[in-house]
Structure 1
Amino acid sequence: MPSSRHFRSFLVTSRDWLARRGLLEAAVLLSLFALAGSTWLFVEIADEVREGEYQHYDDLVLRALRSPEDSALPRGPDWLLQVARDVTTLGGFTVIILITFGTVGFLALRRKWHTCVLVLASIAGGAVVSTLLKTFFARSRPAVVPHLVDVASLSFPSGHSMLGAITYLTLGALLARTTADRRIKIYCLGLAVMLVFLIGLTRLYLGVHYPTDVLAGWCAGIVWALLCALVARWLQRRGAVEKETPAPPGGR
């Protein structure tokens, strides 16, 4: 039977063969399709929200998450409310700052200085975009059910959902670009997607956002994260951002 070394040599040869035919750029093509699709979906949602087309469905979902007897009581066990409050803070400004600087510190220890700058610029730029969108659409917070956490800003798009998507998807993509180990790439991106999804759901459960707010926040965050990932890939090819770290022996 062929040794693992021969098998890895075969995989490398196959990868080179595919690269010469441009098939390894399929990931970039899929990213562009996702970018276009997310942009289109955000525009469609925003247009319908401004016309009030989805208001009935937005209210229906929020009511469905509350007790029929008392709209101030969320459905589910008592502990679920505290879990939702804890999870939703992952999309809050304070936690985002802590995670961002923690990641920058990790990259600095690995002497990936250009990637540090790219992370900071990506998340700071995304925060500015989120604020501008909220100001432009100026949608009021839901009034159909009582809020279970304090909120002060405007509603559309969901800032927690958008900033969470911007931060975790951007960090997941950029961190994945710092390694050639496929398992680590999948872990980083999978964890990012899970966090973004849970943060959005908590905003509905707590009654502080409409479903269209959350969906639009996800779309806008995905668009920004994909743009940052494509920029990072382009800069890596030009040598402006550090190359991937080779996978350890036995890595996939």
Structure 2
Amino acid sequence: MLHTLALRLVRAVPAVAVLARREARLLALLVLVFGGFWMFGVIADEVAENELQTFDQQILLFFRDAQNLADPIGPAWVEQAARDITALGGYTVLTLVTALVVVYLWLLRRWRASALVLASVLGGMVISQGLKALFQRARPDLVPHIVDVHTLSFPSGHSTLSAVVYLTLGALLATVQPGRSVKVFIIAAALLIAMLVGLSRVYLGVHWPTDVLAGWSVGAAWALLCSAVADLLVRRRKMRGESGDTPQAGDTA
């Protein structure tokens, strides 16, 4: 009898380890989600009270020639590179990327994964525009803008949506990778793109640095929240033994 009990315990160890890893992952996601929204709240409160105006001005001026504020620092190719990078966070590029990914997942019959991507991106757009309308912050007038802008400033839409789109797609792509190093590389690449897009907005003079920081915070928090919800839905479906488009590699919702 003891031998049988010991054998069952040994067989249960892998299952318990997998469950522990999943719970730890979910807990880490929720902590990051809370941290992102908390950071946005802190920045928004400081911006509302104009506590970070000096910080914003100093960073914007740092990226400009002191003798000619219309000229960003660095050679001409850096300015062109900033224009190219900032386009990666524009509505046109992000809408095109999202549409192609959703159609691709739909063709693969990954209904839930396609719905996750669509809900995450559309939700991010609503959040971005809603917050802009709420805070009504004007664009920087300290330095000339290098690209045309026509919307409000806080939070940066480019920073918010690039974080939402690239982190959502990065998390989706990482799930199909067996190696941890590849997963880390994919997430790091998504973070890098989002960071470069945000920095380009400051370099081009169309956003205050706090606009970008707030956009990164709320965008990343929303993307991670969508990932956490998808993870919970997958677990619930597995517990119920539901059939249908059973999650495979890349289907996280």
Paired position in structure 1 for 2:3 = none
SS in 1 for 2:28: helix
Q: 1:111, CA displacement in angstroms?
A: 1.9
SS in 2 for 1:134: helix
Closer, same or farther: CA 14–68 of 1 in aligned 2, 3 Å:
farther
Paired position in structure 1 for 2:249 = 245
Range moving further from structure 2, 213-222 or 28-37:
28-37
Closer, same or farther: CA 15–143 of 1 in aligned 2, 3 Å:
farther
Paired position in structure 2 for 1:4 = none
Range moving further from structure 2, 31-40 or 209-218:
31-40
Paired position in structure 2 for 1:250 = none
Paired position in structure 1 for 2:15 = 16
CA separation in 2, counterparts of 1:187 and 1:124? Answer: 26
- Residue 83 (structure 2) pairs with residue 85 (structure 1): yes
Residues 6-41 of structure 1: per-residue CA shift (max 9 Å, x gap): xxxxxx997535235x24421211111111111111
CA separation in 1, counterparts of 2:13 and 2:179? Answer: 17
Q: How many residues align?
A: 234
Matching of residues 61-72 of structure 1 within 5 Å: 61-72=59-70
Paired position in structure 1 for 2:129 = 131
Structure 1 vs Structure 2: percent identity of aligned residues? Answer: 47
Opposite residue 175 of structure 2, the aligned amino acid is: R
CA separation in 2, counterparts of 1:36 and 1:207? Answer: 30
Q: 1:154, CA displacement in angstroms?
A: 0.3
SS in 2 for 1:86: helix
SS in 2 for 1:71: strand
Opposite residue 78 of structure 1, the aligned amino acid is: A
User: Which structure 1 residue ranges, 5 or more long, are not aligned?
Assistant: 1-11, 247-252
Q: 1:238, CA displacement in angstroms?
A: 2.7
Q: 1:106, CA displacement in angstroms?
A: 2.4
Q: 1:141, CA displacement in angstroms?
A: 0.3
Opposite residue 203 of structure 1, the aligned amino acid is: R
Q: 1:178, CA displacement in angstroms?
A: 4.8
Paired position in structure 2 for 1:164 = 162
Paired position in structure 1 for 2:36 = 38
Opposite residue 207 of structure 1, the aligned amino acid is: G
Q: 1:181, CA displacement in angstroms?
A: 5.0
Closer, same or farther: CA 112–79 of 1 in aligned 2, 3 Å:
same
- Residue 224 (structure 2) pairs with residue 206 (structure 1): no
CA separation in 1, counterparts of 2:15 and 2:49? Answer: 52
- Residue 102 (structure 2) pairs with residue 104 (structure 1): yes
Opposite residue 40 of structure 2, the aligned amino acid is: F
Closer, same or farther: CA 144–180 of 1 in aligned 2, 3 Å:
same
Q: How large is the Cα RMSD of the aligned pairs?
A: 2.1
Matching of residues 152-231 of structure 1 within 5 Å: 152-178=150-176, 180-231=178-229
Paired position in structure 1 for 2:8 = none
User: Which structure 2 residue ranges, 5 or more long, are not aligned?
Assistant: 1-10
Closer, same or farther: CA 194–13 of 1 in aligned 2, 3 Å:
farther
Is the contact made by 1:115 and 1:242 (CA closer than 8 Å) also made in structure 2? no
Q: 1:166, CA displacement in angstroms?
A: 1.0
Is the contact made by 1:180 and 1:245 (CA closer than 8 Å) also made in structure 2? no
Opposite residue 177 of structure 1, the aligned amino acid is: T
CA separation in 1, counterparts of 2:201 and 2:227? Answer: 26
